[in-house]
C-alpha cells in the first residue's frame, strides 16, 4: 500500500496516494456535471426529493 510507484499521473507517489487521486478526480468530475445540470435548470437525479421507484422490468 505504501510502496512507491512511478507513472504519468500524479507524479511519483504511493499506491494509496494514486487511489486517493483517482477518487478525488472522479468526485471532481461528478461535481462539474452537477453544476452543469443545475445551471441548465435540471435537478440531478441524486438530488431529487422523490426519486422514481425502481421496477424489476419495464
**How much is the pTM?**
0.65
Contact between 20 and 33 under an 8 Å Cβ cutoff? The reply is no
Confidence of residue 58 (pLDDT cuts 50, 70, 90): low
Q: What is the CA radius of gyration of the chain?
A: 18
- pLDDT in the model for residue 31: 93
Amino acid at each position: 500500500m505504501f510502496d512507491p510507484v512511478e507513472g504519468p499521473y500524479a507524479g511519483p507517489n504511493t499506491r494509496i496516494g494514486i487511489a486517493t487521486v483517482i477518487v478525488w478526480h472522479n468526485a471532481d468530475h461528478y461535481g462539474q456535471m452537477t453544476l452543469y445540470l443545475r445551471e441548465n435548470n435540471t435537478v440531478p437525479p441524486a438530488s431529487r426529493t422523490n426519486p422514481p421507484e425502481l421496477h424489476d422490468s419495464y
